[in-house]
Amino acid sequence: MAYHLRPMNPSPRKPLPATAGIPSLSEPWGRTFVRRAGVGLMLAAAVVLLGWQFDVVALRTVLPGANSMKPVAALAFMLAGLALLNRRSVVPVPGLCRLVSAVVGMIGVTSLLADASDLSLPSDYWYPDPEALAIGRIAGRMSELTAIGFALLGLLGVLPDRSPWWRVQQVVALLVLAIAMFALASFGFQGGLRSERSDVTPVAIHTALLFLLAGLGWLASLPPKGLMRVVHAPSLGGLVARRLLLPALLLPSLLGLFARVAGDWLAWTQATVVSALALLSAGALAGLIWWVALLLDRLERERANVVALRDESHTDALTGLPNRRAFDGAIAGLVQGRRHADRSFALLMLDLDRFKDYNDTYGHLAGDEVLRQTAQLLSSALRPGDVPARYGGEEFAVLLPDTEAAEAVRVAERIVQYFRVWSWPGRAVTVSIGTAAAGREEAADALVGRADAALYAAKAAGRDRVMKAAAPLK
């Protein structure tokens, strides 16, 4: 292996991972979101049921004159929220999630069968429902689209929690989200008002919103695999997904709602509405891009701070070389590689000869300059992958990966020769070096001890020379 002079470069550092400075949020995020989704479903359903019980229209609807969430739908959402809480052990009752999910699914399926067979259900008569009668629908009966959503939510809870069923659960949860998005967009463009019904089966806006919450809650509760792998990941991609997926899902519905408000309430012409939608779409896209850019900028600045702090804590301020802490980390990694992958490496321990006398003669500033030039000399004489470090005081250490004992001696002798011909301030400076090749099962402190013993043998033999350590004990 050839060694040659090269310009001084910063000592090699182990690169930080791309996610440095990014907090790991996946598991806590998933648990927290599922818990909040379950509580939100139950609270919203309870409010709707109170609205039916006490005949408070404002609690049954979101907008005046809009569709009401039916009491049976509110009950199904309450059970769906309970299933999510049990899934995350907030309500630790074994088997509860599967049981209440089966009830939710039966509510949806029973409603669909009753619609197909023109049958009545007991829930149709729980409370008076003049709004449904006014538009020719069965009192208290949820829409077909709502019933399909509950059938899918029930299916999510009864499927086994093991591979490959989690893939089916992801697809079913996405179908629930699709129902929610379709209903929200339909409400936006058609208004959801009694005077102008949607071309599709009507779904109350808060029903659509709770389907959205339930679908997202189930996705967050599934294993971090497949589609959810990136969302749960503690990486930049996972962080972006968690921040932007929900706004992206809501954007079409918000644009649709704007179109209906502009057309009906502001009396804009169709051409004006279309132009405004185009402008808003471009603005929304630009806003999302800007949000991502701000997020990336903040993360990059945080990562730069982490890098700076790491460099500062692992770098010797005087010489710019890795310090003792960095050396300890590097040698520990090489020892592991020696044990598990049989990768050879060697250690050089260097000590400047009679450095105290030099300091006493020329002053500490001149001594500091010698230490800086020693760092430059070592960086010039070694390969990019070698690790020179300031071990302490006038003592230095060099780690030589993929290097055997004989080659380590040749490298040490080359360094000694460099010291002899270097242009030092004041007078010549020489170095003594001890070399040791790592044994297969040798610990780091044992290797350092052997190299240190060889260094002191070089000192005792007259300095300005290289001594090879004895072989490690078997």
> What are the boundaries of each domain within the chain?
26-233, 324-468
CA 49 to chain centre: 39
Residue among 14, 21, 11, 20 at smallest CA distance from 329 = 14
Q: What is the structure's pLDDT at 340?
A: 82
Query: What value does the mean pLDDT take over residues 42-63?
Result: 89
Q: How many CB atoms lie within 10 A of CB 88?
A: 20
247: pLDDT confidence band, cut at 50, 70 and 90?
confident
How do residues 374-402 score in pLDDT, each as one tens digit? Answer: 999 998 888 878 899 999 999 999 999 98
Write the Ramachandran bin of 312: left for phi over 0, alpha for psi from -120 to 50, otherwise beta. alpha
Q: What is the structure's pLDDT at 222?
A: 85
Distance CA 286, CA 297 (A): 16
How far are the Cα atoms of 33, 52, 201 from residue 59, in angstroms, in the given order?
25, 8, 22
Strand partners, 396: 350, 390
If one compares 304 and 423, the residue with the highest pLDDT of the two is 423
* 42 neighbors 177 (Cβ within 8 angstroms): no
Q: What is the structure's pLDDT at 61?
A: 83
Query: What value does the mean pLDDT take over residues 195-222?
Result: 78
Distance CA 194, CA 134 (A): 9
Q: Which amino acid is at 313?
A: S
If one compares 1 and 272, the residue with the highest pLDDT of the two is 272
324-468 maps to CATH 3.30.70.270: yes
Residue 227, both tokens: 């589609």
Residue 442, both tokens: 């040798």
* 405 neighbors 468 (Cβ within 8 angstroms): yes
Q: 3-class SS at 386?
A: coil
Q: 3-class SS at 360?
A: helix
> With helix as H, strand as E and coil as C, how does 296-321 read?
HHHHHHHHHHHHHHHHHHHECCCCCC
172: pLDDT confidence band, cut at 50, 70 and 90?
very high
Percentage of residues in the chain with pLDDT exceeding 90?
45
Strand partners, 322: 315
Judge whether 27 counts as a catalytic residue. Answer: no
300: pLDDT confidence band, cut at 50, 70 and 90?
confident
Instruction: State the catalytic residue, choosing from 394, 395, 441, 442.
Output: 394
Flag whether pLDDT at 10 surpasses 70. no
The per-residue b/e assignment along 283-320, b for 16 or more CB within 10 angstroms, e otherwise, is ebeeeeeeeeeeeeeebeeebeeeeeeeeeebbbeebe
Global confidence as pTM: 0.55
Q: How many CB atoms lie within 10 A of CB 27?
A: 11
Residue 420, both tokens: 């002899």
Q: How many CB atoms lie within 10 A of CB 439?
A: 18
Flag whether pLDDT at 50 surpasses 70. yes
Find tokens 């806006």 and name the residue. 205
Flag whether pLDDT at 19 surpasses 70. no
Is it true that the peptide bond before 164 is cis, omega within 30 degrees of 0? yes
Q: What is the structure's pLDDT at 310?
A: 57
Q: What is the structure's pLDDT at 295?
A: 74
